[in-house]
Structure 1
Amino acid sequence: MRQYLLARSAQSLVVILLMSFVIYGLIGLMPGDPIDILASEDPTMTPEDVAALRALYDLDLPVYERYLNWLGRAFTGELGYSRLFGQPVLDVLGPALVSTLVLMGTAFIVAIAIAIPVGVLAASKPRSALDYGVNLFAFAGISLPSFWLALMLMTLLCVTLGWLPAGGTAPAGSGVLEQLRYMLLPVATIVIVNVGSYSRFVRASMLEVLRKDYIRTARAKGAGQWRVVWRHGLRNGMIPVVTILALEFGSLFSGALIVETIFSWPGMGKLIFDSIMGNDFNLALIALLLATVLTLLGNLLADICYAKLDPRIVIGEGR
């Protein structure tokens, strides 16, 4: 296990370095830069002032030299300041990360709690009315654009009925119920959009597992339907599903741009979008790299879960 973790850590470090170079290069190729924006907003700045600022922030150097300078500072913990917020990058990322984790984490848990039992029930009764109903609901959820669903829910529950706030977050010091009122619509939007695909993955995996020989053997020995499906089948059926959920792990921290924008939720998705549109290079770079790191972490956790779900899987060995 230790050798495997060391090898995966080395691989992840290489991926992070490559991604940092790619992201830095793409951001550097964007038209305009913070100095151009500053010069356009301050007519008193002379060309000499602009040149001095470019030299101060290494913007007069080639992209690869600027990247190496940034990488050296990053290894010392100096991640720079956010141009849009006038604060250190980590001070800006912290609240947005917590806000996104609360929103996306809640939606993820609710979606999984619904999708797993629904998918298992549909797979245990294939071609039944329940199965057709689950498939219809799943396809409807997958087909709904998140922006349209968010606007419809807002129109119905906020504008027409006036039951819920239309957006934003609960004021500081509000109780738990008030915070839940502000979270309900964005969470419901994300859950409805995702639960269909999750339930489809669970159903497909369980259908495959329930055709296995050991399932038929368990039934031949007199095991009941509940034991066969939920004890023998579900554990093995979750292995492919874990892969899908691992890929979703990064989105728990990178946010949902459309939903956060519509409901004015101050999360990572909106922050990344604003930083890119505002040419806030430091903030955009660190936020995108954070999403990369957490996606890699999700894949590592998925590999560990494989071994826990199926003892035949030995981590770090070729079998």
Structure 2
Amino acid sequence: MSTEKSRNDTRSSVSSALRSTRNAFENHPHWLFLLPALLIYLPFLVLPALGIFGLSTFQWSGLGTMSFNGVENFVATVSDPIVSTSLWHNVKIAFWSLILQAGIGLVLALAIYRFSDRLRQFFQAVYLLPMTLMAVAVSMIWGYMYNPSYGILNSVIQEIGIDWNPLWLGSQSLALYAIIIVATWQWTGFRVVLWLAGLDSIDESLLEAARMDGAGPLQRFRYITLPLLKPVAIFITIYTIIGSFNSFVYIWVMTRGGPGHASEVMVTWIYKNAFLQSNFGQAAAISVLLFVIVLVLSLLNMRLGDREAGGVNP
């Protein structure tokens, strides 16, 4: 009798769970469409990420047994001068990438905003063309251009009569900025498209009303256009900063983080620790630090985006 009752209770529990699941999908059908992506995302991204957190508490060379060392990898990470140097380089890349890409992108967007649709589409395609190229190929091409012996940049400098033959990628003072120029060349076009989307969202009647009230072009831009572009500016800022912390290909192909550690960034130092020095625990600890930085920036982006959507000034 008790066995039969137990079976009935089990069936009832299963039926209740199935009904709850069905009701959940009926009330929130979007989760059903996200389920295939989540099933792929979980084993290939989430689980390895959790593995990195676990690995950061072990000493492991990639072969043999793993020895637990607690927070020693994190202590070594915080005290490692190359980590702080790499982080500072990431900050410089983020700052200059934001200034150059966002600034040049806004100027180019304003330049073609009033063009005809066909002409605008042409320039947008031209600006976006560098994005379609592989970062490895772009890095190799610019590496040849930067070559002090036969590169086109030094040839142009000599042709215009300037007595200067910079080493570019071989110079500790220029290498990082040379890489920033490459990233700016490839990604400014995307910022142009984002700025254009923001400009298109501005109600023309506001600009027309300001013009009729006697506001000049600069006044209209300062008091109407710029404030209304604030959501786009926030997105570009956070997107550029996060992208800068993930810089790897340009640096690895062109300088390997050198000369010395003059262009070292966190991801290249993670790579060197893991695959060149066989210090996977230390690499995992640096990865966790980088994850925390990017997570904070992402949450900040979401927070600022929510405030803008709600009409609240941050």
TM-score range normalised by the length of the shorter chain: 0.5 to 0.7
1:188-234 deviation per Cα after TM superposition (whole angstroms, max 9, x unaligned):
1110111111111001111111x354334334444344433443122
Which TM-score applies when normalising by structure 1?
A: 0.63
Shift of 1:301: 4.8
RMSD (Å), alpha carbons: 3.8
Over alpha carbons, which structure has the higher Rg?
Answer: 2
Match of residue 185 from structure 1: 178
Distance 1:104 1:240, change over 3 A: closer
Q: Aligned ranges for residues 150-299 of structure 1 at < 5 Å?
A: 150-158=139-147, 159-161=149-151, 162=154, 163-165=165-167, 167-170=169-172, 179-180=173-174, 182-209=175-202, 211-252=203-244, 254-264=245-255, 265=257, 266-278=264-276, 279-299=278-298
Match of residue 120 from structure 1: 110
CA contact (8 A) 2:52 2:288 kept: no
Secondary structure, aligned partner of 2:229:
helix
Query: Alignment partner for residue 137 of structure 1, among 126, 142, 147?
Result: 126
**How many residues were matched structurally?**
248
CA distance in 2, matches of 1:156, 1:248: 25
Shift of 1:142: 1.6
Shift of 1:104: 4.0
Distance 1:226 1:99, change over 3 A: closer
Amino acid at match of 2:179: P
Distance 1:311 1:255, change over 3 A: closer
CA distance in 2, matches of 1:24, 1:307: 28
Where in structure 1 are there 5+ consecutive unaligned residues? 1-18, 40-49, 59-68, 83-87, 171-178
The farther-off stretch of 234-243 and 305-314 is: 305-314
CA distance in 1, matches of 2:146, 2:82: 32
Distance 1:314 1:230, change over 3 A: closer
Shift of 1:268: 1.6
The farther-off stretch of 158-167 and 263-272 is: 158-167
The farther-off stretch of 191-200 and 131-140 is: 131-140
Shift of 1:114: 0.7
Secondary structure, aligned partner of 2:74:
coil
CA contact (8 A) 1:167 1:262 kept: no
Distance 1:206 1:35, change over 3 A: closer
Secondary structure, aligned partner of 2:215:
coil
Amino acid at match of 1:251: G
1:208-266 deviation per Cα after TM superposition (whole angstroms, max 9, x unaligned):
11x354334334444344433443122212313412431332333x3411111122232
CA contact (8 A) 1:23 1:285 kept: no
Distance 1:263 1:203, change over 3 A: same
Where in structure 2 are there 5+ consecutive unaligned residues? 1-44, 155-164, 258-263
Shift of 1:308: 9.7
Which TM-score applies when normalising by structure 2?
A: 0.63
Match of residue 31 from structure 2: none
CA contact (8 A) 1:206 1:234 kept: no
CA distance in 1, matches of 2:272, 2:138: 23
Shift of 1:26: 4.6
Distance 1:284 1:248, change over 3 A: farther
